[in-house]
Amino acid sequence: MKLGRGHPVRRTPDLTPMVDVIFLLIVFFLAAARLEQDRREPVDLPQQAGETEQKRREGLVLTLLADGTLRVAGVSRDIEALPALLAEASRDGMPSVTLRANREVDVVVIDRVIRLLSRSGVPGVEMAVAPGGGP
Protein backbone atom coordinates (compact mmCIF):
# COMPACT_ATOMS: atom_id res chain seq x y z
CA MET A 1 0.00 0.00 0.00
CA LYS A 2 1.31 3.38 -1.00
CA LEU A 3 0.92 6.29 1.39
CA GLY A 4 0.14 9.63 -0.16
CA ARG A 5 2.17 12.67 0.63
CA GLY A 6 -0.85 14.78 1.41
CA HIS A 7 -0.51 18.45 1.97
CA PRO A 8 2.89 19.81 2.92
CA VAL A 9 3.10 20.92 6.55
CA ARG A 10 4.24 24.51 6.99
CA ARG A 11 6.40 24.96 10.01
CA THR A 12 6.65 28.39 11.56
CA PRO A 13 9.34 29.24 14.06
CA ASP A 14 8.32 29.66 17.68
CA LEU A 15 8.96 33.31 18.56
CA THR A 16 8.25 32.96 22.27
CA PRO A 17 11.92 32.52 23.34
CA MET A 18 12.96 35.53 21.27
CA VAL A 19 10.25 37.71 22.82
CA ASP A 20 11.35 36.53 26.29
CA VAL A 21 14.94 37.52 25.56
CA ILE A 22 13.87 40.96 24.29
CA PHE A 23 11.88 41.62 27.48
CA LEU A 24 14.81 40.52 29.63
CA LEU A 25 17.12 42.89 27.75
CA ILE A 26 14.70 45.77 28.24
CA VAL A 27 14.50 45.07 31.98
CA PHE A 28 18.30 44.81 32.19
CA PHE A 29 18.91 48.17 30.49
CA LEU A 30 16.25 49.90 32.58
CA ALA A 31 17.84 48.55 35.77
CA ALA A 32 21.33 49.52 34.59
CA ALA A 33 20.19 53.07 33.84
CA ARG A 34 18.66 53.35 37.30
CA LEU A 35 21.86 52.09 38.96
CA GLU A 36 23.86 54.70 37.05
CA GLN A 37 21.78 57.45 38.65
CA ASP A 38 22.07 55.88 42.11
CA ARG A 39 25.88 55.90 41.96
CA ARG A 40 25.95 59.67 42.43
CA GLU A 41 27.14 61.08 45.71
CA PRO A 42 24.33 62.41 47.91
CA VAL A 43 24.80 66.18 47.79
CA ASP A 44 22.61 68.95 49.17
CA LEU A 45 22.45 71.08 46.03
CA PRO A 46 21.58 74.78 46.08
CA GLN A 47 18.09 75.62 44.88
CA GLN A 48 17.57 77.64 41.74
CA ALA A 49 14.71 78.21 39.33
CA GLY A 50 15.36 76.74 35.92
CA GLU A 51 14.98 73.43 34.20
CA THR A 52 12.78 71.05 36.14
CA GLU A 53 13.63 67.99 34.10
CA GLN A 54 17.05 66.46 34.53
CA LYS A 55 18.63 65.51 31.24
CA ARG A 56 21.00 62.62 31.09
CA ARG A 57 24.35 63.93 29.95
CA GLU A 58 27.44 62.04 29.05
CA GLY A 59 30.69 63.40 30.34
CA LEU A 60 32.55 64.06 33.53
CA VAL A 61 30.60 64.66 36.75
CA LEU A 62 32.57 66.38 39.51
CA THR A 63 31.11 66.38 43.02
CA LEU A 64 32.22 68.83 45.71
CA LEU A 65 31.19 67.62 49.16
CA ALA A 66 30.42 69.94 52.08
CA ASP A 67 33.96 69.60 53.47
CA GLY A 68 35.48 70.64 50.10
CA THR A 69 36.43 67.12 49.03
CA LEU A 70 36.36 66.58 45.26
CA ARG A 71 34.96 63.23 44.12
CA VAL A 72 35.05 61.89 40.59
CA ALA A 73 33.24 58.61 39.87
CA GLY A 74 33.04 57.90 43.60
CA VAL A 75 36.79 58.39 44.17
CA SER A 76 38.24 61.27 46.20
CA ARG A 77 40.69 63.36 44.17
CA ASP A 78 42.94 66.30 44.91
CA ILE A 79 41.60 69.48 43.32
CA GLU A 80 45.06 70.36 42.02
CA ALA A 81 45.17 67.01 40.15
CA LEU A 82 42.14 68.05 38.08
CA PRO A 83 44.14 69.16 34.98
CA ALA A 84 45.84 65.74 34.76
CA LEU A 85 42.48 64.01 35.12
CA LEU A 86 41.02 66.17 32.34
CA ALA A 87 44.00 65.51 30.08
CA GLU A 88 43.40 61.78 30.48
CA ALA A 89 39.64 62.11 29.92
CA SER A 90 40.05 64.34 26.86
CA ARG A 91 41.91 61.90 24.62
CA ASP A 92 38.81 61.60 22.41
CA GLY A 93 37.85 65.26 22.75
CA MET A 94 37.04 67.42 25.73
CA PRO A 95 34.16 65.90 27.72
CA SER A 96 31.29 67.99 29.00
CA VAL A 97 31.68 68.74 32.69
CA THR A 98 28.91 68.94 35.29
CA LEU A 99 29.80 70.33 38.71
CA ARG A 100 27.64 69.17 41.63
CA ALA A 101 28.64 71.33 44.61
CA ASN A 102 27.06 71.04 48.03
CA ARG A 103 25.39 74.28 49.11
CA GLU A 104 27.77 74.45 52.11
CA VAL A 105 30.93 74.54 49.94
CA ASP A 106 32.80 77.83 50.10
CA VAL A 107 32.54 79.86 46.89
CA VAL A 108 36.34 80.19 46.82
CA VAL A 109 36.66 76.41 46.37
CA ILE A 110 34.07 76.39 43.58
CA ASP A 111 35.86 79.30 41.89
CA ARG A 112 39.20 77.46 42.11
CA VAL A 113 37.69 74.35 40.48
CA ILE A 114 36.08 76.37 37.68
CA ARG A 115 39.35 78.25 37.02
CA LEU A 116 41.26 74.95 36.81
CA LEU A 117 38.66 73.61 34.39
CA SER A 118 38.93 76.76 32.27
CA ARG A 119 42.74 76.60 32.16
CA SER A 120 42.47 72.95 31.11
CA GLY A 121 40.43 73.88 28.04
CA VAL A 122 36.92 73.01 29.21
CA PRO A 123 34.65 75.29 27.17
CA GLY A 124 31.88 75.44 29.77
CA VAL A 125 30.76 73.95 33.05
CA GLU A 126 27.19 73.05 33.96
CA MET A 127 26.29 73.60 37.59
CA ALA A 128 23.81 71.13 39.05
CA VAL A 129 21.11 72.70 41.22
CA ALA A 130 17.95 71.48 42.90
CA PRO A 131 14.72 72.88 41.45
CA GLY A 132 12.55 75.20 43.46
CA GLY A 133 14.58 78.30 44.23
CA GLY A 134 14.61 81.55 42.40
CA PRO A 135 14.74 85.30 42.82
- Structural domains of the chain ordered from first start: 60-127 (3.30.420.270)
Residues 113, 70: Cα–Cα separation, whole Å: 9
Alpha helices by DSSP H, listed for 39-98, are 82-89
Interval 33-62: pLDDT, tens: 766 655 566 665 665 555 555 555 567 888
Contact 71, 63 (CB under 8 A): yes
Question: Residue 20: pLDDT band by 50, 70, 90 thresholds?
Answer: very high
Q: If residue 22 lies in a helix (H) or strand (E), which one and from where to where?
A: helix 16-38
State yes or no: pLDDT of 115 exceeds 70.
yes
- Per residue in 74-86, pLDDT tens? 788 888 888 888 8
